Amino acid sequence: MSADRTHTLLVTGGGGSGRTTVAAATALAAARRGRRTLLLSDEDPGVLDGLLGPEAGPRVVRIDSGADFRLRAAALQERSRTALDLLGAEPLDDDELAEPPGADALALLGAVRAAHTPGHPTAGYDLVVVDMPPAEQAVRTLAAPEQLRRWLRRLLPPERQAARALRPVLAQLAGVPMPARSLYEAAGRLDRELAAVQEVITAPETAVRLVTDPGPAAVRALRAVRAGLALHGLAVDAVVANRLLPATSSDSWLASLAARQQEALKTLLDECPADGAAVCELPHLGRDPAGPEDLDGLGGRILPDPLRGAGEPGAADRAVREPWTVEDRLAGDGVLVWRLPLPGAVKKSLTLVRRGDEVIVTTGPFRRALPLPAVLRRCTVAGARLSGGELAVRFEPEPGLWPGED
């Protein structure tokens, strides 16, 4: 990995798993190592102040989704002033702009992008640690830039065919000429913003750190999240098993709970290293962590350094961001095999649909439209199999579309 580029660590996990604490401990540990570290979080400032203390090592920036939405809405109204005047619309005042659903995700993505924008006040750090929302929401947020760009391309294709077809209808509905050029300029600006965020999310210097309070339900949920992250080509550098109880307690109730935790931990240790993720164990402190002393104790146990070299033990393979490969078995079996790593996926929650030059893959609550490699676009799907955390889809050449085929 490049040593002179900003690295990004996205910390997420189940609700109540302690992801904010782990994010803060990770950021503090990095700052203690001399890294210039930025912690982004939407957590209440009082909570972070209580964790990090008044003289925190990392710089802490709170993500204010309400303020971010009002700024974006004001800018949009200003750019659309001519169209609004033509329609006789009255701009909304600042105090009318209530934060809508989804504004928090937009603000988070904007903050991540800003931290990688030269000249921005939050740019220029060695490491950006992001305290993400709960895991399922986090995966959807990280997938949003690619999905939105796909929708833009479908609704407003570069050749402007859709705009030409819709312009008379829209003009009739609105009663005024529609500013098609402005529409495409706005779409272009949005696409560039989304592309910049997507570039950060999929960069080799970006990884995800998952936090779990180990137990049977948490392990099942973690499998689904790992599959969703893999589907979107996002590397997991570590899984943090948080709040582990002592295995030698004399209290029968605590001993039983600790045994269930150890069983879940064994499952994590068996499954996670296969896809390049280290497993870190954090003890239960017997109380909520408070102050830098507690975080220092935890940070010393969060083993992976987010800025370590890619070849060091426990490093996730971040060099390959495209999640799929194609195996040529035409000579022996007459097929090409498209392989997609999906650690944690289960057959009953996995679906695969071919649609034109794309394959839409769904695993649990997560879905992605994957563009087929050019060689597979001239093939038909002959079957699929999920085994060992990998989806293998067999493609047969379509007669008439391959050289030498009649």
Tens of pLDDT, residue by residue, the chain (406 residues): 344 689 999 999 998 899 999 999 999 999 988 999 999 999 888 888 888 887 768 999 998 877 777 777 777 667 666 666 666 677 767 776 777 777 888 889 999 999 999 999 999 999 999 999 999 999 999 999 999 999 888 887 765 544 455 555 555 555 555 555 666 777 888 889 999 999 999 999 999 999 999 999 999 999 999 999 999 999 999 999 999 999 888 888 999 999 999 999 999 999 888 778 889 999 998 888 888 889 988 887 775 676 665 334 344 444 445 668 899 998 888 899 999 999 999 999 999 999 999 999 999 999 999 999 999 999 999 999 999 899 999 999 988 766 655 4
CB atoms within 10 A of CB 365: 13
CATH of domain 1-321: 3.40.50.300
Q: Is 11 exposed, middle or buried (0-12, 13-18, 19+ CB in 10 A)?
A: buried
> Which residues are bridge partners to 325 per DSSP?
339
Nearest to 199 by CA among 171, 233, 246, 166: 233
Q: Is 241 exposed, middle or buried (0-12, 13-18, 19+ CB in 10 A)?
A: buried
In the block, tokens 């393979």 appear at 317
> Which residues are bridge partners to 279 per DSSP?
239
With contact defined as beta carbons under 8 Å apart, do 365 and 344 qualify? no
143 to each of 115, 229, 286, 345, 355, how far by Cα in Å?
Answer: 19, 9, 37, 18, 20
Tell me which DSSP letter residue 377 carries: G
Tokens of 258: 């600790």
- What secondary structure does DSSP assign to 293-345, as a single string? HHHHHHHTT----TTS-TTSTT----S--S--EEEEEHHHHSEEEEEEE-TT-
Q: What is the pTM of this model?
A: 0.86
Tokens of 109: 């993505």
The bridge status of strand 7-13 relative to strand 206-212 is parallel
Angle value at C-alpha 277, between 275 and 278, nearest 5 degrees: 140
Distance CA 321, CA 102 (A): 27
Beta carbons within 8 Å of 338's beta carbon, 6+ residues apart: 324, 325, 326, 327, 359, 372, 373, 376, 392, 393, 394, 395
The domains of the chain are located at: 1-321, 325-397
Strands (E), 43-93: 59-62
Nearest to 199 by CA among 130, 158, 149, 151: 149
247 by DSSP, 3-state: which?
Answer: coil
Domain 325-397 in this protein, CATH class? mainly beta
